[in-house]
Amino acid sequence: MLPAHAPEFFTTLRTLLGPERCITDQGLLLPWECDGLSHLRQLPIAVLLPETRAEVVEIVRLAAEHGIPLTARGAGTCLSGGATAAQGGALIAFTRMKRILEIDPVNRTARVEPGLVNVRLSEALKPLGLAYMPDPSSQTASTLGGNVAENSGGPHCIKHGNTTMSVLALEVVLADGSVIELGHARGRTEGPDLRGLFVGSEGTLGIVTSITFRLERIPPAELTLLASFADMRSACNGVSSVIAHGILPSAFEAIDDRTIAALEHAGKKSGYPSNAAAVLLLEFDGAAESVRAEADAATALLRAAGALRIEEAEDAAQRARLWKGRKGAYGAMGRLAPDLYVMDTVVPRSRLPEVLPAIGRICDELGLPLANVFHAGEGNLHPNISFDGRNPDQVRRVLEAGRRIVEVCLKAGGALSGEHGIGTEKREFMPLAFGPETIELLHGLKAVFDPGRLLNPDKVLPEPVTCGEMRPAVLRGRSA
């Protein structure tokens, strides 16, 4: 059964893609109604699964012709609703476009299709002694196309940078179906950096069909430390102290006691001490001597900050176990309640000791269980709130907590998102972080690339009506 409106759109696509790759059955569409942010849902009118760039172009062209909004989606692990369909819109899912097109070990670049899962690239590079550094906690599932759309971070991005630092070039299908190349595999571009503009634009400006990444050599040595503390404040002070002394770990993570309890509860042997109120997970990479020196210096500083115990991972297996706990922490919270809201905000590192208790108070007041696991070195917080999405009152309280947490973080000089993006989750907060002029400019930018507002609309930017002072020229540009 095809949706009633724009029947031509569907019949043409069904012929092009076949019924397996053009999903319109209501029951089969249901599991596509949200991404990792499961309390905000929108059933797509169709899901399209292209296998080639030509098919993507055809889908975009047809969507433009029939006025169907399109949302690009990788694995759907996004935590801000970026990969959820727009009202009346279709999803274009890249799960079948997952080839590695080229690896150039000499120039250390790789060109891939957007549906390739992050960890699959690392697996392919490993025998060559090469690595793709950005490692979002979702890396075993999330796609590189999605990582580019969200400019994803990860534990090791404190040293190696978010996704954008590794993106050399993008092939993009624009809203009218034309294909452009942004950036260059050799890393040099003339004029403004349009590649940088697209990374993190959450699929609102165009649809990426291939990505060229910069690769790194696998670091010759790695060393992992686990430091436990009697309270989170000392742990946070330890973080600031290490960084203030000019030491840059390749990862610097904090995990609180509730997260450790959740891991235990889910039956995961994380190796984190169950009696600590907070633990820090640090990693150093580089030449063996410098790694040792940095780790020793950090150990002394953390002790001075009040660390109860500092352990060093003895081998690769123990290191992997420590990381598995960190990367599975959010999933493990599923044992606490049926649903989970993973927030993403940033505060200056120095403000962590006061912001964390403030967030705790908000959740206490609203009667919501909170657990914190976050990229401490970057001040990138992830308050995790457990709730039951079937209870409307709990959902209301969760949304309220989200708003108040954002306000606290912004007031402390922070930012809306460190790595999960804005999506639908935080678009209403954009005016809290940006002045009307900036938002107006962003609307204008969107209009330049997507005048028909068909590419992932209703994301990132707040509804234009809420920005009362919008200039007519910009409005004209958008509706052209």
| Rounded Cα distance, 20 and 46, in Å | 12
155 binding another protein? (CB under 8 A): no
Length of the chain in residues, anyone?
480
Long-range contacts of 177-185 (CB under 8 A, 24+ apart): 177/57, 177/58, 177/60, 177/61, 177/64, 179/53, 179/57, 179/209, 180/206, 183/212, 185/104, 185/107, 185/109, 185/111, 185/212
> Residue 347 or 373: which CB sits closer to another protein?
373
Classify residue 273 by burial, with Cβ atoms within 10 Å: 0-12, 13-18, 19+. middle
271 binding another protein? (CB under 8 A): no
Which residue of 7, 105, 338, 436 would you call a contact of another protein, by CB under 8 A?
Answer: 338
Which residue of 285, 294, 440, 458 would you call a contact of another protein, by CB under 8 A?
Answer: 458
**Closest C-alpha among 57, 62, 53, 52 to residue 14:** 62
Q: Kindly state the smallest distance separating residue 14's Cβ from another protein, in Å.
A: 15
The token pair at 432 is 């809290």
20 binding another protein? (CB under 8 A): yes
- Choose one: 26-34, 150-158, 192-200, 243-251; the region binding another protein (CB under 8 A): 26-34
Which residue of 3, 177, 306, 334 would you call a contact of another protein, by CB under 8 A?
Answer: 334
- Choose one: 187-195, 226-234, 343-351, 387-395; the region binding another protein (CB under 8 A): 387-395
Q: Kindly state the smallest distance separating residue 30's Cβ from another protein, in Å.
A: 6
User: DSSP E strands: which ranges in 97-220?
Assistant: 100-104, 109-112, 130-131, 167-173, 179-183, 207-214, 216-217
Distance of CA 248 to the CA centre of its chain: 22
Fill in the per-residue mask, 110 to 139: x = in contact with another protein (CB under 8 A), - = not in contact.
-----x-x-x------------------x-
391 binding another protein? (CB under 8 A): yes
141 binding another protein? (CB under 8 A): yes
- Choose one: 53-61, 74-82, 288-296, 368-376; the region binding another protein (CB under 8 A): 74-82
- Choose one: 37-45, 150-158, 176-184, 249-257; the region binding another protein (CB under 8 A): 37-45
What residues pair up with 340 in beta bridges, in sequence order? 386
Which residue of 156, 195, 214, 327 would you call a contact of another protein, by CB under 8 A?
Answer: 327
Distance of CA 198 to the CA centre of its chain: 15
> Residue 36 or 200: which CB sits closer to another protein?
36
Which residue of 16, 40, 124, 194 would you call a contact of another protein, by CB under 8 A?
Answer: 40
Task: Identify the helix (H) or strand (E) that includes residue 281.
Answer: strand 278-286
| Rounded Cα distance, 184 and 195, in Å | 9
Q: Count other Cβ atoms within 10 Å, centred on residue 421.
A: 28
399 binding another protein? (CB under 8 A): yes
Q: Cite the DSSP H helix spans in 305-386.
A: 316-327, 329-332, 352-365
For binding to another protein (CB under 8 A), which residues are involved? 20, 23, 25, 27-28, 30-32, 34-36, 38-42, 47, 49, 75-77, 81, 84, 87, 93, 95-96, 115, 117, 119, 138, 140-142, 266-268, 327-335, 337-340, 389-392, 395, 399, 424, 458
